[in-house]
Structure 1
Amino acid sequence: MKRISTATKVVDKFGANKPGFTNGNAVAGVPATDLESDWFDHVQEEISRVIEAGGGVVDGSSYTQLLTAIQSLIGSLSIRQYSITALPTADVGPIIVKEVCEVWRWSASAYFTGYRSPLCGRPMDGHTTTPLASEISAVGGTLSKTAYAGLWGYAQENGLVLTQANWTTNIGGHYFVDVDAATFRVPDLRNVFRRYSGTDADTLAARALGSYKADTLKSHVHGLGGNGAWVDASGTYAVNAGGATVNLSRSTLTGAAGTAETAPRHTAFNPVIHI
């Protein structure tokens, strides 16, 4: 933008080196500011180029073109909003998916091209009776490859697709199955605890992403103090305790107790996967 620079400008009207205009004062001998073509050209082009940048064509009969252009340009900087059921089929930049209140980006790989959440495929703790719009139940069900193309692409991209037989053997793992041309099976994450990948303490083997391992109980023994021996077939055990002999029956020893699994205290959530 050009500031007025004629000799009759008002010097420093808006601060140092910021001249302005005056209507003049004939009585006081102050002349009005002379105008110049360069200044008008600058004003015209500054305004016109905003209108054109906003997609408009300069129209001398309109008084709202600058306003419309500014509103359009502001809108283009805002993230567009779409329904999860009507996502764009081309890359229009980051979008907000209204039902899930997330910003999704365009994704492109050998297995999927389109919009999906950056959290796609993440196992989560479902805290509602039915899955949210951004979730599907992780209980081993089947889904459409078309309707859930992003999730199916995620499974292939990360090498998490097994045969049905291997999936069944490793049930509880974060694995998928290529059921047929139209559908795929999701993991069944019920009745298992999460564990981060790394070196397994028992086998020293690396735990891969999504892998499953059955529950284990640390190896241990229960012994009897003192010197003793079984006395008879009925199960009496004589222990020398402080010089005295104490007979213990098998019923006094530690026996099988507890439940079918070893598990810490925990809170159950519905198993879901982010789509």
Structure 2
Amino acid sequence: MDYPKSVPSVGLVDGRFVDENPVAGTPGSLIPAVWGNSVTQEILSVISAGGLTASESDTGQLLKAIQSIVGNASPMRSVVTGLAASKALTAPELGLVLIDSSPASMTVTLPPAGVALGVRDVIVRRVDNSGNRLVVQASDTDRIRFHTHLSASGYPFLVLMGNGDWWHLRSDGAGSWWPVGRCDNSALGRPFFETSTTLNPGGYGVPNGDLFKRSEWPWLWDFARTSGALTTEAARAGMEGGWTSGDGATNFRIPEIRGEFLRVLSEGRNIDPGRTAGSLQSHSLQSHNHYLPTGTGANYKPAPGIPDGVWDVGTNVNFSPTTTTVATTYPNPAFDSDTYIGNIGNFSGETRPRNIALPARIKLI
């Protein structure tokens, strides 16, 4: 559109409208009908493109239409929606969705990701740390396309775990929501060490051997099935670090690694041949010999003439323990390890290196 330059005698000065000037005797500009209709149609076109029906009494439609058009042109809208109860989101509520699940477990359903919605973004963020289950569900047959290496079509829902956990999702207009970003994208099933006994947000749990429902954790069950470390409940003894198929129908068991030392799997190096991922190896002692000093006294110091630290091979003690009493070639067959060995070092029920205990976590989503 432009000023009505094509219409003669409209009274434009330098191409613009002017007011009447009675003192100077100059008339004001005229607004021809063709120009007025053109301007009105330009505005109506914007209102229509914004999805609104023109109303003569509504003076805010042009602004609303522009906001709608800008919002649809950019997937992310400047909208903040707060929720504290289960709800099906509508298109105008998409933006930043802050969810408080402290009152009870909740399900937040996304709008259908079809042609009508088009390409739209939403960030769903949890703002409580109650531990109640919080599910973000796709509509009907729609899918959220995460962990597609396990399921090409993705999954019908995800869970937000912990205060601050968030996912940024984008609809494709064809029935799918695609992750654009998330709080923590560490690999599913990976174990971690923490310096806190609390659970950080982002999808973590404790690797404590608990049973999980397959219907509530379908991606984790798919991971377990393809892990190469899956066994049955009946065969779990000795495979506590792996997964089990649970009851074979409705649940499965996650690994139990609390209080254990971890060792790298050989994977063809021929160290610990025959071991499988998740298998438990019992403690053991290397077969070896100890030598007793020839002297007497509380500290068993060597006899005169024998330097400190020199042991008498004739009093060899062979440590290949099979019982609580150490096998010995010492002249006293009743030699007891608790009586003697307890005086020369720190001992416990098992052999272990010096260590620090850190809480372990496992990525559940």
> TM class by shorter-chain length?
0.5 to 0.7
Determine the structure 1 residue equivalent to 2:5.
6
- Distance in structure 1 (CA, Å) of the matches to 2:226 and 2:13: 69
User: Does residue 213 of structure 2 align to residue 144 of structure 1?
Assistant: yes
Quote how far apart the aligned CAs of 1:86 are: 1.0
1:77-226 residue pairs with structure 2 within 5 A?
Answer: 78-80=95-97, 85-88=106-109, 91=113, 94-99=122-127, 106-107=145-146, 109=151, 113-116=155-158, 118=185, 121-124=189-192, 125=194, 127-128=197-198, 134-156=203-225, 158=227, 161-173=230-242, 175-193=243-261, 203=271, 211-212=278-279, 214=281
Alpha-carbon distance change, 164 to 190 in structure 1, aligned in 2, over 3 angstroms: same
The answer (yes or no) to whether the contact 2:212–2:251 under 8 Å persists in 1 is yes
Amino acid across the alignment from 1:172: G
- Distance in structure 2 (CA, Å) of the matches to 1:212 and 1:20: 86
Quote how far apart the aligned CAs of 1:30 are: 7.0
Quote how far apart the aligned CAs of 1:139 are: 1.4
Alpha-carbon distance change, 148 to 97 in structure 1, aligned in 2, over 3 angstroms: farther
Alpha-carbon distance change, 218 to 260 in structure 1, aligned in 2, over 3 angstroms: closer
The answer (yes or no) to whether the contact 1:178–1:185 under 8 Å persists in 2 is yes
Determine the structure 2 residue equivalent to 1:41.
38
The answer (yes or no) to whether the contact 1:162–1:176 under 8 Å persists in 2 is yes
User: Does residue 61 of structure 2 align to residue 65 of structure 1?
Assistant: yes
Alpha-carbon distance change, 180 to 41 in structure 1, aligned in 2, over 3 angstroms: farther
Secondary structure of 1:169's counterpart equals coil
- Distance in structure 1 (CA, Å) of the matches to 2:16 and 2:357: 72
CA deviation string 1:89-108 (max 9, x = no partner)? 65575541425799x85436
Amino acid across the alignment from 1:149: P
- Distance in structure 2 (CA, Å) of the matches to 1:38 and 1:203: 89
Secondary structure of 1:155's counterpart equals helix
CA deviation string 1:35-68 (max 9, x = no partner)? 574686366435643x445443222232333444
Quote how far apart the aligned CAs of 1:113 are: 1.9
What TM-score comes out, normalization by structure 2 length? 0.47
Determine the structure 1 residue equivalent to 2:359.
269
Identity among equivalent pairs (%)? 21
Amino acid across the alignment from 2:211: T
Alpha-carbon distance change, 199 to 9 in structure 1, aligned in 2, over 3 angstroms: farther
- Distance in structure 1 (CA, Å) of the matches to 2:65 and 2:190: 42
Alpha-carbon distance change, 220 to 161 in structure 1, aligned in 2, over 3 angstroms: closer
What TM-score comes out, normalization by structure 1 length? 0.58
- Distance in structure 2 (CA, Å) of the matches to 1:87 and 1:263: 49
- Distance in structure 2 (CA, Å) of the matches to 1:261 and 1:247: 24
Quote how far apart the aligned CAs of 1:160 are: 5.3
Structure 1 alignment gaps of length 5 or more = 12-18, 225-229, 232-236
- Distance in structure 1 (CA, Å) of the matches to 2:97 and 2:62: 22
Secondary structure of 1:116's counterpart equals strand
Amino acid across the alignment from 1:45: E
Structure 2 alignment gaps of length 5 or more = 72-76, 80-91, 114-119, 137-143, 160-184, 295-301, 318-339
- Distance in structure 2 (CA, Å) of the matches to 1:157 and 1:34: 79
CA RMSD of aligned residues (A): 5.5
The answer (yes or no) to whether the contact 1:176–1:186 under 8 Å persists in 2 is yes
Which range moves more in the overlay, 151-160 or 213-222? 213-222
Determine the structure 1 residue equivalent to 2:327.
none
Aligned length: 253
Determine the structure 2 residue equivalent to 1:15.
none
